[in-house]
Every structure is written in C-alpha cells, then in structure tokens.
Amino acid sequence: MWRQRKRLGLALGGGVARGRAHVGVIQVLEEAGIEVSFVSGVSAGAMVGACYAAGLNVAQLTQVATGFTWFRVASFSLLNPFRQGLDRLGLVDFENLEMFVIDAIGDVAFDELKLPFAAGATDLLTGERIVLTSGRVAHAVRASAAVPGVVVPVRWGERILCDGFASNNVPIQILHDMGADVVLAVNIMPVGRQVPSSFFWAGSTALSALVLQAGDPLDLADVLIEPDLAEIDYLFPSAARVVQLGREAALPAIPQLRALLA
C-alpha cells in the first residue's frame, strides 16, 4: 500500500476567475489520499489557498469557487465622487473580496490557519516581491489580488501592495523555504503553445509569457500542473468547466506525485 512519507507544498498561481481550476486540482489530491503540508498562492490562488489552509473541505471550496463573482467581490471606486488617497488608483475596490473571504473562513490571522500559508504580493512603489505570512489573512488576500491600475491597492504597514502576479505569479521557492520536501505548482496562466484564435488571445499569450519571466522559474517545482486554460476567459468563465479542467490536468500527475512523496 502506498504511504506518504514526505511533506508536500502546493503553489497556486494567479489568473483571476481561472483560479477555480485550483479547486479541481485539490479535489484530485484529496481523492488520491495526498496530504498538503504547506500552501502558497497569489491573487485567485491566494483566495483558494487561504480557504484550503483554513481547513475548508472540497465541498466548501467548490461552493466558494462557484460563489465568486465580480459583482460580489468588486465595487466601482470610479463612481465614488469623493475618491481620495489610494482610492484614486483603481477603477474598482476589493473591499468586498476581503469580506467574501471573511465570510468563508472568518477574520483569522495566519497563525490561526490549519496549514502554514504564504500569500504573494508586490510593493507598488519598489516592485519588490512581498511574501505575507502574518497578519490578517483576508486583508492579505485582498492585497495579493489588487491588479495594479484596475483595483485599488492596499496599505500594509508602511507599504502599498498590489497583485503578486506583477512580481511572482507562482510562488514556489517560499514553499521550499517553509520546509516542503516536494513542491507541486499549478500555473493557470499557461502560454498557448498554438496559434491564438483571436487578437485578444494573442495578447493574453504575450501577457502570460511576461508574467512567467518575472517570477520563480517553474522548474523549481518538482511537479508542474498547467490546466488547458490558454483560451479560457479570465473574467466570466463557466465555473464548472474551469474546475473540471483543473481535475483533468491533475489526474495524470498523481503517479509522479505519489512516487516522489513516498
């Protein structure tokens, strides 16, 4: 009988509403009896990762993924005639995203989570990669998901933070540093590897390439999963379809993962 002897770190990349694919990957891991010891995430990956690290089961994670909509997590800052300070730096505000996470797991701190968790963000003023491992989890998720120029950035102590995709979209090295023996990375902004079907997807492919160049090399992971999302809408995809694509990408990786973890 197979027995897991090593500690697994799970890195969940950013990719807006494509982040639902992470739920499909986690479903497959749990069905295979593979336990995760450490979690990292950026943007949508930070939201799913925080909920998973808090102890939500697969059914609850699926409910969170399907309940996530732009109309629920974003408010139009641009429509506020009294905007000032950081509010002037985005079209929408993710205060409701913070509340969405609190509704799911409570207003907990990192040290109250069941699994060690790290959220990736970017310092808007210096471009530095920032790894958040202490403080309020929901606020960290909000910072990690604050797409610069679109979403109002988040003040974190003396820093002003925005989306982690700008500096490190798939945070792999932090999991090695935290003590993972094996790291599984899930990249949901894959390069298309085929001729794009439209000008939009041509631009999306170029963006994916830029994002991947900015962060940890994907080969730092022992196992890499890249769901077939190259032409899946970032903003309004079918939740069930994206979860299923995550499952389909994870299933072939299970034998390799088991071998490494044994």
Catalytically active residues are 43, 163
Distance CA 167, CA 214 (A): 6
Place of tokens 């749990």: 30
CA 16 to chain CA centroid, nearest Å: 8
Helices vs. strands in the chain: H and E counts, helices first: 10, 8
Count CB neighbours of 134 within 10 A.
Answer: 10
Phi, psi of 259 (to 5 degrees): -65, -45
Count CB neighbours of 220 within 10 A.
Answer: 17
Q: Which residues lie across from 42 on neighbouring strands? A: 120
Q: Which residues lie across from 258 on neighbouring strands? A: none
Burial of 48 (0-12, 13-18, 19+ CB in 10 A): buried
